[in-house]
Amino acid sequence: MSAPRKVLVVGGGGREHAIVRALLRSPQNPEVIAAPGNAGIASDRIRCVDVSAEDVDAIVRVASDEGIDLVVVGPEAPLVGGVIDALADEGITGFGPTAAAARLEGSKAFAKELMHDVGIPTAGHSVLRTRTEAELRVTTCSYPVVLKADVLAAGKGVIICQSEIEARAAVTTFFEDRRFGATEVVMEDFLEGEEISLLALCDGERAVPLAPAQDYKRIGDGDEGPNTGGMGSYSPVPGFDNGHAKVLAQAVHQPVVDEMRRRGTPYHGVLYAGLMMTEAGPKVLEFNCRFGDPETQAVLPRLRSDLVDLLDRSTRVGGLAGASPEWSPDWAVTVVLASRGYPESSSKGDEIAGLRGIDSLDTEIFHAGTAEAANGTLVTAGGRVLNVTGIGSSPAEARERAYDAAEKIQFDGKQMRRDIAARAVERVGV
């Protein structure tokens, strides 16, 4: 019998915890290591290596020293920074796009230009390169309008402006305050409709969709307040079954894969499409080059196929031929518990209570921003602290389980939305 495969998961958030859990369900019984991981991943008896996910050289060194067979990269920053390229130079297999392909997320302007070139429906846009240019444009555009930093911004670089006054304030944020560093700004037409997240596994030739999900980006109920990295999600989505997902992937993901291959930068890994279902049909809001967060925490608990096999096949050109991921009919609802001050800041070091005994067959707790204090207690260590996922035969049951568990968990300043998956319950009626 061959030894178990060794898999290194790069990252330390809730997404990576969900990936680790899904990998551990593989019949291949892989040995999983995390870098850097978090307190929750460590509590699952996974060895965590204390290196930054953004330290490309350190990640390559760990993978080499540990004899890793497959590196699964969670966050976008190391992908944009070229970690897959660096791993390949050492003969190590990495799951994710190269730096050239990861520009789809690293540059909103690049993604917009590619969509225009291949005819993928998206919002009309222009690129603002200076503050002077931006201040002139905000006096002539229609409102509402969307302004996006043309750099990685952890999901917080989007500002929806309802008026010229708000747009001028956003221009100051981008060009004077430089909240996201030196960046150009993409100005987009505002799209109305229902937002859907659709992730697809890509092998350089084809895109194989995963289960659709819906996420909640604003901090407050009713989509009020500033954008965050995501305050909750659920899967599946009423009215969007696997058949719809395949049609959308052919219209949205496959043209990207075809064009990237044509340009000599084939796309491997996960291609995330944020879609707005408008009256005129689906339009792409954004592309991301990695598993969504918190969508992954609602999607992967429903996966019944071997994740190790799917990720490995994605690394090989044409490896996903014939692949068709299988899904549980159950619903999954994920509620994010955030710390005081998030998303503008985050409170750290607050003791977390009430976790004991919550993890079960119908409720999973994924750690996103936690740490173990010197006295052994679990404390907050980031903006998004914990992801609570309820599993049930209906959206109502899954939602009830998620919120029941979320209420039991306590720490100073805890924030959470109360309306995650409420619209799914309204539509399904159970």
Would you call 10 helix, strand, or coil by DSSP? strand
Strands 281-288 vs 224-227: parallel, antiparallel or unpaired: unpaired
Q: For residue 4, what pLDDT is reported?
A: 62
Q: How would you label 155-171 residue by residue, b for 16+ Cβ within 10 Å and e otherwise? A: bbbbbbbeeeebbeebb
**Kind and range of the H or E run holding 365:** strand 363-367
CB–CB of 255/202 below 8 Å?
A: no
The per-residue pLDDT for range 74-93, each reduced to its tens digit, is 999 999 999 999 999 999 99
Q: For residue 156, what pLDDT is reported?
A: 77
pTM (2 decimals)? 0.94
Q: For residue 1, what pLDDT is reported?
A: 38
In this prediction, the residues of the chain whose per-residue pLDDT falls under 50 are 1
At residue 371, φ and ψ (nearest 5 deg) are -150, 160
- CA 36/CA 52 separation, integer angstroms: 6
- CA 24/CA 31 separation, integer angstroms: 8
Would you call 60 helix, strand, or coil by DSSP? helix
Range list of β-strands (E), 24-151: 31-36, 47-48, 70-73, 94-95, 125-128, 145-149
Would you call 226 helix, strand, or coil by DSSP? strand
- CA 149/CA 109 separation, integer angstroms: 9
